[in-house]
Amino acid sequence: MNPDLNKLAKERYTWHNATNNVRVTPLRFFYPTDEFDIAEIVKDAEQQSLKVRAVGSGHSFSEVAVCKDYLLSMKKMDSVEKTDAGLLKEACKHKHLVTLGAGTILMELNKKLDKMGLALPNMGAVDFQTVSGALLTGTHGTGINQPAFPDMVRSIHMVGTGGKMYQIEPDDGITDPVRHTDKHGDSIELIQDDRDFYSAVLGFGGMGIVYKVTMEVKPAFWMKESREIVKWSALREQLLSGEFMDMVEHTDFVAFRVNPYEVKGDHTCALVKQHIIPEDEQPRGWGARRRNILSTFFGDIEYLIESTIRRINRNPKKVRNSIEQALKFTRDREFTGKSFKVLFQSGISVVRHGISSEFAFEARAEKIVEVLERIFVLAKRNAENGNLYQASHIPVRFVQPSRAYLSSAYNRKTVYIDVPLLHKTVGDFEILERYQEMMIELDGIPHWGKVNNKLYERNDFIKSKFCRHAAWTERRNLLDPKGTFLNDFIIKMGLA
C-alpha cells in the first residue's frame, strides 16, 4: 500500500453497523479528509485489484455497505455551504441550493441550515444518517407529495475509477457547462445525463465514492402536528370509502401506526397529521409547543429499551398491551415546531435496538388494507404457534413518485409499510423473514437499507419490479468498468 495513506488508515479494525447485525474487518479502514485522499485510496486499491466502498453512519440493517478490502468512513467530510452561484445556469440562480460534505450528519445539517434560514423539504423519521448514506439507499419520510432524499438532490460529486472526479447531474442539470470548464478545466468531469444521474443517485455507492452532494432545500418553515388515536375498523372504512386517501393527498405529511395485535376486539392506530404553517402565521420565540413529553422521554432512554427487551423475552404475551400503551402515549392534540423537529419522529434509543424490514406498494387504499390485514394474521399466527411477538407498531407512510431508477417509489405514488421490532428479542430475524416472504408475495418492494436478505433468492423478482434495473446496471458498468465499487450485496441482488 502507498505508505502516505497509512496516516489515514486503521488496520485490524472491525466495522459494524449501528445495530451490530452486520460486521466486517476490511484490509484497511480509512478516514479521508477530502476528495484528493479518496482519489489516492482508489488509485492504490485499483493497482492491487482491490475494492473500495464507503460507510455513512452504519444505519442500514442490510449488507449494502459491506466491503472486505478498503472501507472508508466519511465522517471527516462534513461541510455545509451555499452552492457557488457563479457556476449555475442563470435559470437556476433563484433556487435554494446547498453543497454538503458527504459525511454530514443530518442532525448537524438541520441545525446549520436553520442558521442559514433554510430547511430540508422532508426527511426520514430520524436524523442520525449521513447525507450520502440517506441518499444512496433512498431514505424517505412521509408525504404523498413530498420528495424522498434522492429527489431532493441536484448534483452528485464523486470519485470514480482511476481516482477521476465526476460531477453528475440530470440532462437539465443546474450547472453551466462553460462556467464549470472555466473553473475546473478537466479536473472534474461534468456529466449531465439522466441515465447516469438517476442511476448514481440511488446506487449504494456502486459507481464511486460520493464526496459532496448538492441539494435543493427550502426557506426555513414551521409545522403543526396532531396525533390522534383511532380504531382500525374506523380507519379501514375511511380507506375504503376514499375519504382517507383524499385527506392524504390534501395534507402535507400524513402517517399512521397500527398495533399488529388485536386488543379488545380491534387494532389501535395513531394517526399523525402534519401541516406546513404559512410564513405569515409562523410562531416566534416561545410560540412552539413541546411534543408529548412521555413519548419523547421514553424514546430517548436506552436503559428503558434494554429493560423492555428483557421484559419481552421473559414475558412475550405482554407485548400487545405494551404497544397499545406506547401508541396511546403518543397522542398529542397539537405540537408546533421548526420543520426538522416535527419531522423527527423517533427516539435516540432506536438506533442500536430498532431493526426492520420495510416494503413499498402502490399507494392504493385496497392495497393498504390487504397488506395490513395479512400482517395482523401473520402476527397472530407467530404468537399462537410459536409464542413469537414483534415488539413494535407498524408504521405506514406515503411518498411522491421518484425518478431514481432503483427507487422502490419509482414513477408511482407509494405507500411504505414497515415492520420494525427490537433486535435481540426472541425470533427477531425469523419474524422478519416471514414478513419478507409475505410482502414479496403481495408485490411489495423491499427498502435497500432495511433487512432484505430474502431478495438474494429472488433476482427474478427484482428484475420484474425495478423496470430500470438494466439501465442501472449498464451505467454502473460504464462508470466502474473494473468493478472497483462493486460489493457482494450488488452481486447477490443480481444487479452486477
User: What is the per-residue burial (b if ≥16 Cβ within 10 Å, else e) of 153-173?
Assistant: bbbbbbbbbebbbbbbbbeeb
CA–CA separation, 386 and 378 (whole Å): 11
Strand-pairing partners, residue 337, are 223
Q: Which of residues 86-115 bind ligand FAD (CB under 6 A)?
A: 102
**Is there binding between residue 139 and ligand FAD (CB under 6 A)?**
yes
> Position of cell 456502486?
206
Q: Closest CB to ligand FAD among 350 and 417?
A: 350
**Is there binding between residue 137 and ligand FAD (CB under 6 A)?**
yes
- State in angstroms the smallest separation of the CB of 210 from ligand FAD: 4
CA–CA separation, 110 and 254 (whole Å): 21
- Residue 356 and residue 451 in contact, taking contact as beta carbons nearer than 8 Å: yes
Stretch that binds ligand FAD, among 56-64, 237-245, 314-322, 458-466 (CB under 6 A): 56-64
**Is there binding between residue 59 and ligand FAD (CB under 6 A)?**
yes
Angle (CA) 382-366-404 rounded to 5° is 90
Stretch that binds ligand FAD, among 134-142, 291-299, 366-374, 386-394 (CB under 6 A): 134-142
Stretch that binds ligand FAD, among 84-92, 132-140, 249-257, 384-392 (CB under 6 A): 132-140
Q: 3-class DSSP state for residue 419?
A: strand
Query: Which of 37, 39, 42, 58 lies at the binding interface for ligand FAD (CB under 6 A)?
Result: 58
**Is there binding between residue 155 and ligand FAD (CB under 6 A)?**
no
**Is there binding between residue 150 and ligand FAD (CB under 6 A)?**
no
DSSP strand pairing (414-422 vs 394-399): antiparallel
Query: Which of 9, 50, 74, 342 lies at the binding interface for ligand FAD (CB under 6 A)?
Result: 74
Stretch that binds ligand FAD, among 26-34, 137-145, 248-256, 385-393 (CB under 6 A): 137-145
Question: In Å, what is the CA distance from 334 to each residue of 119, 197, 210, 275, 296?
Answer: 21, 40, 40, 11, 14
Write the interaction track for ligand FAD spanning residues 16-45; mark x where CB under 6 A is met and - where it is not: --x---------------------------
> Position of cell 459491506?
66
| Pick from 376, 125, 332, 414: nearest CA to 235 | 376
Write the interaction track for ligand FAD spanning residues 176-205; mark x where CB under 6 A is met and - where it is not: ----------------------------xx
Q: Closest CB to ligand FAD among 70 and 88?
A: 70
Task: Kindly state the DSSP code that residue 441 receives in the 8-state scheme.
Answer: H
- Residue 79 and residue 36 in contact, taking contact as beta carbons nearer than 8 Å: no
Applying CB under 6 A, the site for ligand FAD has a residue count of 34
Any alpha helices (H) in 142-230, and if so which ranges? Answer: 177-184, 194-200
CA–CA separation, 204 and 362 (whole Å): 23
Write the interaction track for ligand FAD spanning residues 414-453; mark x where CB under 6 A is met and - where it is not: ---------------------------------x-x----
Question: In Å, what is the CA distance from 219 to each residue of 15, 19, 173, 483?
Answer: 38, 35, 21, 41
Q: 3-class DSSP state for residue 53?
A: strand
Q: Which of residues 330-369 bind ligand FAD (CB under 6 A)?
A: 350-351, 354
**Is there binding between residue 248 and ligand FAD (CB under 6 A)?**
no
Question: Cβ atoms within 10 A of the Cβ of 491, count?
Answer: 12
User: What is the per-residue burial (b if ≥16 Cβ within 10 Å, else e) of 247-283?
Assistant: ebeebbbbbbbbbbbeeeeebbbbbbbbbbbeeeeee
Q: Closest CB to ligand FAD among 17 and 322?
A: 17
CA–CA separation, 354 and 125 (whole Å): 12
| Pick from 386, 423, 131: nearest CA to 120 | 131
Task: Kindly state the DSSP code that residue 156 receives in the 8-state scheme.
Answer: E
Q: Closest CB to ligand FAD among 176 and 400?
A: 400
CA–CA separation, 347 and 299 (whole Å): 4
CA–CA separation, 239 and 217 (whole Å): 32
- State in angstroms the smallest separation of the CB of 5 from ligand FAD: 18
Q: Closest CB to ligand FAD among 283 and 483?
A: 483
Helices 365-386 & 428-441, crossing angle to 10 degrees? 140
**Is there binding between residue 490 and ligand FAD (CB under 6 A)?**
no
Q: Closest CB to ligand FAD among 267 and 353?
A: 353
**Is there binding between residue 83 and ligand FAD (CB under 6 A)?**
no
> Position of cell 450547472?
175
Query: Which of 24, 50, 109, 136 lies at the binding interface for ligand FAD (CB under 6 A)?
Result: 136
**Is there binding between residue 468 and ligand FAD (CB under 6 A)?**
no
> Position of cell 379488545?
264
**Is there binding between residue 129 and ligand FAD (CB under 6 A)?**
yes
Q: 3-class DSSP state for residue 21?
A: coil
Query: Which of 65, 168, 254, 323 lies at the binding interface for ligand FAD (CB under 6 A)?
Result: 65
**Is there binding between residue 277 and ligand FAD (CB under 6 A)?**
no
Stretch that binds ligand FAD, among 128-136, 189-197, 233-241, 317-325 (CB under 6 A): 128-136
- State in angstroms the smallest separation of the CB of 80 from ligand FAD: 15
**Is there binding between residue 299 and ligand FAD (CB under 6 A)?**
no
Query: Which of 24, 57, 396, 493 lies at the binding interface for ligand FAD (CB under 6 A)?
Result: 57
- State in angstroms the smallest separation of the CB of 52 from ligand FAD: 9
Residues in the site for ligand FAD, rule: CB under 6 A? 18, 53-60, 64-65, 74, 102, 124-126, 129-130, 132-134, 136-137, 139-140, 204-205, 209-210, 350-351, 354, 447, 449
